Structure 1
């Protein structure tokens, strides 16, 4: 098994492959239920601290990439009309 430094090096190599920063358009059809699940998954992934020995791709991602994921999450909530419900759920479960 690779250590954290080796994993980071592999992830950095993958992320620097030509075309990885290219913008793509995705036609996404997703249920409102899954929008809520996706939003929570993104939020949890961005807020969970790495264990140190096995960093995930999200652990070494740039600040810009993290902000882009949050923006995607917020866009999905807005387009599905679930912003208010999501805020209520966050208050309920916190």
Structure 2
């Protein structure tokens, strides 16, 4: 548990560092397999319907969590995997 507290403190410190709110442009080229996996990992960390179920992600402001969800959704849409992702959620009962 002490490790989680140290990690939380470090992460909170990094989030407050100068320049962390600056927008950066990232040109990413990923294959569809990685996009689908990335989206699944993000959703697993964020939990169902906004419930946050991971220690580290609890430190992230709600606005940033929302942006992360938007990013994951945008990746799926651009990769043409939105419908496939929805069907997979239905199969897994999420």
Q: TM-score range by the shorter chain?
A: 0.7 to 0.9
Partner of 1:90: 89
Deviation at 1:59, TM superposition (A): 1.5
The 3 A distance-change label for structure 1 pair 6 and 93 is same
Partner of 1:49: 53
Deviation at 1:4, TM superposition (A): 5.5
Give TM-score, length-normalised by structure 2.
0.83
Superposition pairs for residues 1-94 of structure 1, below 5 Å?
2=2, 7-47=7-47, 49-50=53-54, 55-56=55-56, 58-94=57-93
Whole-angstrom distance in 2 between the partners of 1:5 and 1:71: 28
Count, aligned residues: 89
Give TM-score, length-normalised by structure 1.
0.83
Whole-angstrom distance in 1 between the partners of 2:36 and 2:79: 9
Runs ≥4 in structure 1, deviation > 2 angstroms?
A: 1-11
From the CA coordinates, give the structure whose radius of gyration is larger: 1
Unaligned 5+ segments in structure 1 are none
Unaligned 5+ segments in structure 2 are none
Query: RMSD over aligned Cα, in angstroms?
Result: 1.8
